[in-house]
Amino acid sequence: MTAYVVSMMSISDHDTYRKYTDRTPPIVRKYGGKFLARGGDILTVEGEKYNDRMVILEFPSRQAILDWYEDPDYVDARAFRHASSEARIFVIDGNENTRDPDPNL
């Protein structure tokens, strides 16, 4: 089942953060992932305005996400993100309840 990663980052050091973003695309692809959105302009239509960076990834499964997250190359790259930003990272499973959604789910 498809699963998604939603990352919200507040970047404090753009040069160091670039060392993270330069390394991540091939590692994401290695696990069948793809970027759906990567640092684009965010329009807040409800709630408090969000001014930081957001990235949305799609993977073939939750297990693929966990494998990607623990890949040694990603662990190394992640050190640059930790040194240059604060993040909230979420994983959510996709499901078949999207075409005609059950209001109880």
DSSP assignments along 3-54, one per residue: EEEEEEEEES-HHHHHHHHTTHHHHHHHTT-EEEEES------SSS---SEE
Q: Is residue 30 part of a domain?
A: yes
Count CB-CB contacts under 10 A for residue 31: 19
> What is the residue range of 89's domain?
3-42+51-93
* Number of domains forming the structure of the chain: 1
Q: Is residue 24 part of a domain?
A: yes
Q: Is residue 105 part of a domain?
A: no
Q: Is residue 103 part of a domain?
A: no
pTM listed for this prediction: 0.87
Q: Is residue 8 part of a domain?
A: yes
* CA pair distance 85, 68, nearest whole angstrom: 20
Mean pLDDT computed over 54-74: 98
Residue 103 above 90 pLDDT?
A: no
Residue 32 above 90 pLDDT?
A: yes
Residue 98 above 90 pLDDT?
A: no
Mean pLDDT computed over 65-70: 98
Q: Is residue 17 part of a domain?
A: yes
77 phi and psi angles, rounded to 5 deg:
-65, -40
Mean pLDDT computed over 44-72: 97
Q: Is residue 79 part of a domain?
A: yes
